[in-house]
Amino acid sequence: MATDDLSKSFAALADPTRRAIVARLTLGDATVSELAAPFAMSLQAISKHVSVLETAGLVVRRDDTHRRPVHLRSETLTGLTDWITRHQRQAEERLGRLDDALAATSEEPSSASSRRTP
């Protein structure tokens, strides 16, 4: 079950409609009606997707007018890329060390073979 914040954010992005909503919000705040426009979906269905994004901390509904525009919280996205890149860096550093070790090993037999007499 996705109870922690990172799990909720990753789960929220695991849907093409919700990713399309995030992509639309990068262009500016939008109401649910505006967000629904490109989709063959009910306002209720889009509103549900927005609620999932809101619970995940990816968007916030601005309550200053009755139109309630939805706003993207870009900093939550940063948390996701931070997690991924931190672990990728760790894997790459390990592969770098492995490459160095392999290079050191492959130098050995080649110098041995050059010493070999025909």
Site residues, a copy of itself (CB under 8 A): 2, 4, 6-11, 13-16, 19, 22-23, 25-28, 72, 74, 77-78, 80-81, 83-85, 87-88, 90-92, 94
In the chain the first and final C-alpha atoms are separated, in Å, by: 66
List the one residue out of 61, 78, 55, 63 whose CA is nearest residue 25: 61
User: What's the min distance (Å) between Cβ of 75 and a copy of itself?
Assistant: 10
Residue pair 66/32 in contact by the 8 Å Cβ criterion = no
Strands 70-72 and 59-61: antiparallel
User: What's the min distance (Å) between Cβ of 27 and a copy of itself?
Assistant: 6
Pick 32 or 72: Cβ nearer a copy of itself:
72
C-alpha angle with apex 86: 80 to 87, nearest 5 degrees?
A: 100
Pick 13 or 47: Cβ nearer a copy of itself:
13
User: What's the min distance (Å) between Cβ of 81 and a copy of itself?
Assistant: 5
Pick 26 or 117: Cβ nearer a copy of itself:
26
